[in-house]
Structure formats: C-alpha cells, structure tokens
Amino acid sequence: KRNLASRYAARAAELKCSPAPRMPVKGFLGFGRLIESIKATNAERGPQYVVSAIDSEMGRNVHTVVVPIADYELIATRDPANVQAMLATKSADWDVGEARNASWRPLFGDGVFTSRGEAWKHSRALVRPQFTKDQINDLDLIERHVQQLFDAIDRSSSRVPSEAGKGWTPALDLQPLFYNMTLDITTELIYGYSVHSQNPRSRVALPTLPGLAQPDRENIGTHMDAGKAWVETRGALWKYRWLLPTKQFSKHCAAVHAYAQWFVQLRLQRGDGYLDGIREDTGQDSGSRYILLDELAKATRDPVELRSQTLNILTAGRDTTASLIGWIFYFLARHPRVFEKLRAEVLAEFPKPEGIEFRALRDKIPYMTSVINEALRVAPVIPLNERVAIRDTVLPRGGGPKGDEPMFVAEGQQVLIPTFAMTRREDLWGDDAEEFRPERWEEEGGGGGGGRKRGFEFIPFGGGVRQCLGQQFARTKAAYVVVRLLQRYDGIANAEEPADAPMRFHHTIENRSGSGVQVRLHEA
C-alpha cells in the first residue's frame, strides 16, 4: 500500500498537483460516513446531507474534498470546473462507476444508461438516432393521457360530495397521478401498448403468445419502484452490496424482465406488421406512429438487447419526467404570484386546448422555461451523479490550500458529483440560492432567454458525452402538461400540513418530494 502511495505522490508531483483536503474518518472502521449518508437518505434529506457535511466540517468555501470511507476513498466535488473536465473536456479519462453497472444490471440489463466503455458507445449509437426524430414528440399521444389525468383528478374530487360545485377540489396528492401518467405515456411510446395505470378499464385485450404469460400491466410500476429502491441501496453500499439479501430484489427484476420480454417477443413474431397489429388491437390509428421497440428492432433482433435497451429508456424517461412535473406543482402551490404570472403567459399564447405545437412550447412561453429551470435548480431530479477515473488523471481544481490548484486522481478512484450542492452555492447563485425565484433566469447572466448560458454549475440533464438524450422530449412533455392543467385550473393552494414543512427528497436514483404534492385546485 505504501509503495502505491509513494508512486501516486511521485506522479502527482510530476503533474504539478497538490492534495485536496480530507474529511475526518468517522465511526467504527471508517463506516460512519456511509451509515450517516444512508440514514440521511432514509430520512429524505440525502442531497442536503452532502451540503451540510462539507459546509460544517470543511467550510463553505471548500468545494472539493477527499472522503475516507472504510478501506477506500471517495472524492466529492461541487466545483463546476472539475465537473466539466469529467463530463466533457477530459471525458476520455472517465466513465460511470462500476457500481452503476453492477447495481442496475440485474433490473434493467445492459443499456445506454447503465453500461460502460465500448458497450455504452454501442448502446448510445443504437438509441441516439431515435431522439432526433420529430415523431418522438407526439403531443396527440400525450393529450390522450392528460385526459385520463383530468379524469383521475375528477375521481379524487368526487369522493368528497360536500365540496362538489364550489370549484375547489379537496386536498389531493398530484405526485402519484403524475407517475401513473408518465408510466402510461412511456409504455405506449416504447411498446405501443400503454399499461393504463390511470384507468385500467382502458386496457385492451392482448393477443396470446404461446408459452408466455400475459404481461402484468397492473403491477409493473410497483415492481419498477421497488426494484429501483434496491438499486439505490446497492449503489450506496457499492462493494459491500453482497451484505444485502437478494430474494425480494430478484423477484422485482424477474417481473420487470417478463413484462418487457413479452412485447419483445410480440415484435419479433409480428415483424414489420407490429404497428398494424397495434392498430387492430387498440383501435387507434398507429399508421404513422412512432414506437421505440419497433424502430430498435429494425437495428437488432437480439431479444435480450431489445429488452434491456427499452427498459433503460423506460426508467430514464418515466420517473424523471414525473418527478419534474411534480416539483413544478409543488413550487406553484407555494408561490401564487408565480402561478398567476405563468398562467397569464400560458393563456395569452394558448387560449384553448387545440393547436398547441411543439415549437411554440419551446420558444413562445419563456417564463415557462424559467419556471422549469428553477424547479430543476432548487430540486434537481438527479441530485447526485458519479464518475470513476479509468486512468491516472488530473482534475483542474481542488488541490492546495485555496482549492484552486490541480489535483491528482488515481485510476479507479470514484468521484461523487453532487449536482444539488452546485445549485445551492451562494457564490454562484446569489444570497437567495435557497429560494424558488424563476425571475433569476431572466436576469443578466441568468441563463434564460437572451442572457448568458449557464455553465456546468447547472447540469440537470448531465453534460458532455453522456448528456441526457431525452432532454427536449422531457421539457416539452412537462411544458405541455403544465399548460393543459393551467388552462383547466385558475387557482392552486398548498394543502400540506404544516404548510411550511421543509422540503423532503425521496431519493431512489431520481428524487421526488417525500411529502408528495398536496394541493387543492380551483376549476376555471
């Protein structure tokens, strides 16, 4: 070990690097830090824990630290220059950690989100072209599911007859409704058949496949959620994940696989007639429709690859977008002024449900863009990311007494990228960094409209070579759903008790509000 340390020291000196500050070792055998962070995640303040640990133990001006945990060391950096180096300018020296692949693979298989190295390059080349196609932004498809969302809200409201006719819905939690809606949208977009979790009566009968049981449309969302919670814990425990029992996790993995496998088999059997078959089964005109599985099957017929790639997109696309829409309404309910201003903009551009177009959603409602950005800043959907050095390399900052000298990183060393901590830095965002204030995006240097673009301190969709492929799709879908809800409702009230309860982050890869999105809505 000493030989290794002196080799690293020599290499660091050669590269003119200085060491970064080390956080104190904590707890029995150094496991204290791991236990603290797992406890914080369970208490729904995992992202906040990273900020408070660095601020209180190292100081608010320290942005890159070495964290000793048991028998390994983690680097944590909230310095945008270092993040830019890892994700973009020196990305050849970095990859996602082995922990991501090893923790995720049992559930979703090897796909664009989970794989590393050459396997990732292959996956990205396979799925990337799909995201440049206009058809992926199919607003008619989204509208059908928004209608079901309205029905679901109405059903919740009619449970309290005394409230009927007063215009206000009773208190309801919008968050699970958004998760159901995005599950319905994403399963339809990927496989051609929605699970219709919002309204199971909308499900169509599926054909019979010899030797394969019908897919479990009822429970797929639950299996995905439960499986992901295991993935999160497996990732946090990293090399100690063998301590975890596997029976429950394996059950969820098998159910998720069986679900995707069924559609893959159907596509392989039907071949080029897949879209026609969907049209016959669902009665919907899918003549010109775009279905991801159908497109991918033109490039590969490997059933495991098709299963894994579609499941990767299902998880990347579904939960993230639901989380974002949920947080937007969480903040709107607490900021009536923002609600009024946004609604006025929406109604001026889109007075009625018809004729809402993709390009107008992107370009014609700038305050919506500011609201979406601000929600992503205050409550980043992916608050923690990571990378590992795949060769000895250098980060531009973090070393030396002021943290402004380069630091050496040895091959195999893991780096935590707490994006949440970057968007909380007052020196980058101002004294009101904690506050939800969309107007900051309209100000000089704010990053919105005509202002300067934000750099690597704001990377809700990642950056560089592994940047999110679904960013535009997610932004459009979120904007569309918000527009449609603001057309229908002219008032929103926060129904959480107590009303000023602190934000809670329920973190299973993406984060959602731990207290849900408890609101009352007023029908226009």
Closest approach of ligand HEM to the CB of residue 29, in Å: 30
What are the strands, taking DSSP E only, across 448-488?
Answer: none
Closest approach of ligand HEM to the CB of residue 178, in Å: 12
Q: Helix (H, G, I), strand (E, B), or coil: what is residue 400?
A: coil
**Upstream peptide bond of 215 is cis (omega within 30 degrees of 0):** no
**Both structure tokens of 81:** 């220059």
Closest approach of ligand HEM to the CB of residue 189, in Å: 8
Using CA atoms, how far apart are residues 263 and 297, in angstroms rounded to an integer? 11
Using CA atoms, how far apart are residues 294 and 267, in angstroms rounded to an integer? 7
Measured in whole angstroms, how far is the alpha carbon of residue 198 from the centre of its chain?
21
Q: Which is nearer to ligand HEM, 69 or 86 (CB)?
A: 86
Closest approach of ligand HEM to the CB of residue 505, in Å: 14
Closest approach of ligand HEM to the CB of residue 405, in Å: 26
Using CA atoms, how far apart are residues 146 and 477, in angstroms rounded to an integer? 10
Q: Is 439 within 8 Å of 430 (Cβ atoms)? A: no
Using CA atoms, how far apart are residues 372 and 176, in angstroms rounded to an integer? 19
Q: Which is nearer to ligand HEM, 12 or 474 (CB)?
A: 474
Closest approach of ligand HEM to the CB of residue 121, in Å: 9
Closest approach of ligand HEM to the CB of residue 478, in Å: 7
Closest approach of ligand HEM to the CB of residue 158, in Å: 31
Q: Which is nearer to ligand HEM, 100 or 520 (CB)?
A: 100
Q: Which is nearer to ligand HEM, 157 or 194 (CB)?
A: 194
Q: Which is nearer to ligand HEM, 110 or 277 (CB)?
A: 110
Closest approach of ligand HEM to the CB of residue 488, in Å: 22
Q: Which is nearer to ligand HEM, 124 or 488 (CB)?
A: 124
Q: Degrees (nearest 5) of the Cα angle 383, 57, 410?
A: 65
Q: Which is nearer to ligand HEM, 448 or 470 (CB)?
A: 470
Footprint of ligand HEM (CB under 6 A) = 96, 112-113, 124, 313, 316-317, 320-321, 324, 381-382, 385, 460-462, 466, 468-470, 473-474
DSSP 81-132: HHHHIIIIITGGGEE--HHHHHHHHHHH-SSTTT--HHHHHHHHHHHGGGGG
Using CA atoms, how far apart are residues 292 and 117, in angstroms rounded to an integer? 24
CB hemisphere CA count around 455 (13 angstroms): 13
Q: Which is nearer to ligand HEM, 37 or 373 (CB)?
A: 373
Using CA atoms, how far apart are residues 116 and 114, in angstroms rounded to an integer? 7
Partnered with residue 74 across adjacent β-strands are 67, 414
Closest approach of ligand HEM to the CB of residue 324, in Å: 4
Q: Which is nearer to ligand HEM, 120 or 408 (CB)?
A: 120
The DSSP call for residue 291 is -
Q: Which is nearer to ligand HEM, 37 or 476 (CB)?
A: 476
Burial class of residue 100 in the structure, from the number of CB atoms within 10 Å of its CB (0-12 exposed, 13-18 middle, 19+ buried): buried
Q: Is 382 within 8 Å of 327 (Cβ atoms)? A: no
With CA atoms as reference, report the closest residue to 437 among 347, 377, 480, 483.
Answer: 377
